Amino acid sequence: MQINKNIAISDSGFIFNPSSGDSFSTNQVGLDIIRLMKEGKKNEEIISEIVAKFSIDESTVEKDLGDFSLMLRSYQLLNEND
């Protein structure tokens, strides 16, 4: 499961999926997660990077990341085949 490589992300949190034409907005943590996903980071790495940058515990990030991934998948931003 990987994030689609061709999506465009801007610093304002605007996301454009050129293969579907959909656009989205996200917040700072969401932006960081998507960038880390684009870099090919695994979930555990993403969690530890978020925990290192923000004042939050690991289990909350794990729960939130699960929910966020669910949303990314429902928006067809995740590539199911990988």
Partner 1 sequence: MTSKKKITVAVSGLNNIDSPGPGIPVIRALKESEHFDVRIIGLSYETLEPGLYMRDLVDKSYSIPLPSSGIASLLERLKYIQEMEGIQVIIPNFDAELHSFIKLAPQLKSDFGIETFLPSQEQFESRHKSVLYEFGEENGVKVPYSKMIFSAAEIPALKNEFSYPLVIKGKYYDASIAATSEQATNYFHKISAKWGLPIIVQEFVSGNEVNVTAIGDGKGNCIGAVPMRKLYITDKGKAWAGVSLDDQQLIEITNRVIGNSKWKGGCELEFIKTKDGEYYLLEMNPRFPAWVYLAVGCGQNHPEALVRMALGEDVKPFETYDIGKLFVRYSFDQIVDLSDFERISTLGEL
Partner 2 sequence: MSKLPYERPFIQKLNTGSMNKFGTKTEFAPVTHLDGVAVKQISEEYGSPCFVISERQIRRNYQNAVRAFKTRYPKVQFAWSYKTNYLSAVCNVFHQEGSWAEVVSIFEYKKALQNGVEGNKIIFNGPDKSLEDLKLAVENNSLIHIDHFDELYMLVGLLEGGKQKARVAIRVNMDTGIYPMWDRFGFNYENGQAWNAIIKILAHKELELVGLHCHIGTYMLSANAYATAAYKLCDLALAIKAKYGQAIQYLDLGGGFASSNTLKGSYLQGADIIPSIDDYAEAITSTVLNSNFPQDELPTIILESGRVLIDDAAWLIGSVIATKRLSDGRRATIMDFGVNLLFNAFWYDYKISPAQEFTHHMEDMVIYGPLCMNIDCIRENINLPLLNKGDQVVVHKVGAYNMTQWMQFIQMRPKIVMVDMEGKTHLLRESESLDTMMVLERMPDHLKKIK
Backbone φ and ψ for 10, nearest 5 degrees, come out as -115, 160
C-beta of residue 66 within 8 angstroms of C-beta of residue 10: no
Residue among 6 and 76 whose Cβ is closer to partner 2: 76
Residues that bind partner 2 (CB under 8 A): 15, 22-30, 33, 50, 52-56, 60-61, 64-65, 67-68, 70-72, 74-75
C-beta of residue 33 within 8 angstroms of C-beta of residue 65: yes
Per-residue string for binding with partner 1, 3-22, x by CB under 8 A? -----x-x-xxx-x------
Collapsing DSSP to helix, strand or coil, 2 comes out as strand
Interface positions with partner 1 (CB under 8 A): 8, 10, 12-14, 16, 23, 25
